[in-house]
Structure 1
């Protein structure tokens, strides 16, 4: 397949999502960024409301609404600073959920709660429905890839990173000594929404084994087979899809 190209203001970027994992793309896009004063506190690529802690979406109040047709309709707006080519890439990511789940993203009319998709400082999203407008940042330089769009939208739908799963110590070993100090909090276990699914080394929510490494040594290694494919997803896995459908009763 030929690589896909798109224009930013002064740069033509190649869509290499077929070659790079979502973890690699996110690490590159969010490296050394300085959020603007009006942006939220970030933990990796997760935006944290000031009045909440780092726990994931675990209550029905942070899920999006089920409509009478049984589907979950999630309103969104796409900022007008994206080019038509960039909008098409974002739209492809939004539409991909309808192919395998009951999630239906649609353009906002006058709904109170909605996703505001913007090019801000890197790639990030809140976890779960927050109420009113909530930003999903897809920076024009670094975030416009199918895998990163799916990743951030899964955050918005209520999911956290695979490596923070409550049962992760049964599946991966975290090498704390290799992690950049200010990113260690991104590896803390939390009460994730596992939905009865197994740990998924190839989840689009799983970072790669060198994520946030300070010394080029692995920060995570799977076991018992350390050579298993790990953190290399370029799109949602079957487990990601099953988990999402179970959470929303699809």
Structure 2
């Protein structure tokens, strides 16, 4: 049996994680932090057998994948901050680990979310591991909560932020409750059997506008069967969107409003 050692930093913000020495990926395994989430996730998740909904969300352990923030799936706040314990699988390389760490640290500069190392006192925590594909659960599930970021295909800044947003309780932009005022879904171009990924949800939009630049918005060719768009912007059908490589102003505002930062 392989022994697994936890580094314990009880209650200390994950800024301490920055102490992990940075190391560039070798020339044969470059990690591109600039790829948008849609392309990374759709390629990595193509053909995987893991049961997923909306492309990269694991079915909830305890509830339906409705806006779970209304049913208690947010992470608890302590004082001014929301501490989210994490553990990163040791099988990642230093370069791969740094992509995850930097993605997590990006939340610290603009929100009250603070990621901390998981220790023996934490029951609920995010476990980042190189599984098959890129996916997360929606909101806090309780106990060990997997976030799959496979080594070959999911380690991008945008993808880390995208999956962590799911874990914080946020769904995709293109399924939000008011989407019909902004986008048209072209069902004839969707891969058969993938239509469920476009079902609208009664989301709590927290008073923020529909955002084509959200890191949670899939691009216009998501799940296309024929290379034609599956999503069109109603005001400008030629608009290209869903190409964000980092969180937008609205993504940050939603986190801060939901968690009362």
In the TM superposition, residue 5 of structure 1 has moved relative to its aligned partner by: 5.9
Q: Which runs of 5+ in 2 are unaligned?
A: 1-22
In the TM superposition, residue 129 of structure 1 has moved relative to its aligned partner by: 0.4
Of 46, 60, 74, which residue of structure 2 is paired with 1:31?
46
* Separation (CA, whole Å) in 2 of partners of 1:142 and 1:57: 28
Structure having the larger proportion of residues in strand: 1
In the TM superposition, residue 50 of structure 1 has moved relative to its aligned partner by: 5.1
1:101–1:244 CA contact under 8 A, matched in 2:
yes
* Separation (CA, whole Å) in 1 of partners of 2:31 and 2:181: 35
Task: Give the 5 Å matches for 1:13-92.
Answer: 13-18=29-34, 20-35=35-50, 41-43=51-53, 44-49=55-60, 51-59=62-70, 61-68=72-79, 70-92=80-102
Number of residue pairs matched?
A: 237
* Separation (CA, whole Å) in 2 of partners of 1:191 and 1:58: 11
* Separation (CA, whole Å) in 2 of partners of 1:149 and 1:123: 9
In the TM superposition, residue 234 of structure 1 has moved relative to its aligned partner by: 0.5
1:159–1:193 CA contact under 8 A, matched in 2:
no
Q: Which runs of 5+ in 1 are unaligned?
A: 36-40
* Separation (CA, whole Å) in 2 of partners of 1:13 and 1:214: 30
2:84–2:113 CA contact under 8 A, matched in 1:
yes
Corresponding residue number in structure 2 for 1:38: none
1:21–1:233 CA contact under 8 A, matched in 2:
yes
Let me know the Cα RMSD of the aligned residues. Answer: 1.6
Corresponding residue number in structure 1 for 2:204: 193
SS at match of 1:232: coil
Of 25, 41, 46, which residue of structure 2 is paired with 1:6?
25
* Separation (CA, whole Å) in 1 of partners of 2:28 and 2:149: 16
SS at match of 1:100: coil
1:202–1:229 CA contact under 8 A, matched in 2:
no
* Separation (CA, whole Å) in 2 of partners of 1:240 and 1:162: 10
1:21–1:208 CA contact under 8 A, matched in 2:
no
* Separation (CA, whole Å) in 1 of partners of 2:204 and 2:168: 11
In the TM superposition, residue 240 of structure 1 has moved relative to its aligned partner by: 0.2
Task: Give the 5 Å matches for 1:1-250.
Answer: 6=25, 12-18=28-34, 20-35=35-50, 41-43=51-53, 44-49=55-60, 51-59=62-70, 61-68=72-79, 70-110=80-120, 111-250=122-261
In the TM superposition, residue 150 of structure 1 has moved relative to its aligned partner by: 0.2
SS at match of 2:69: coil
CA shift digits 1:58-103 (9 cap, x unpaired): 32521001012x1100001001111111111110001000010000
* Separation (CA, whole Å) in 1 of partners of 2:24 and 2:225: 32
* Separation (CA, whole Å) in 1 of partners of 2:67 and 2:52: 14
TM-score normalised by structure 1 residue count:
0.90
* Separation (CA, whole Å) in 2 of partners of 1:90 and 1:73: 17
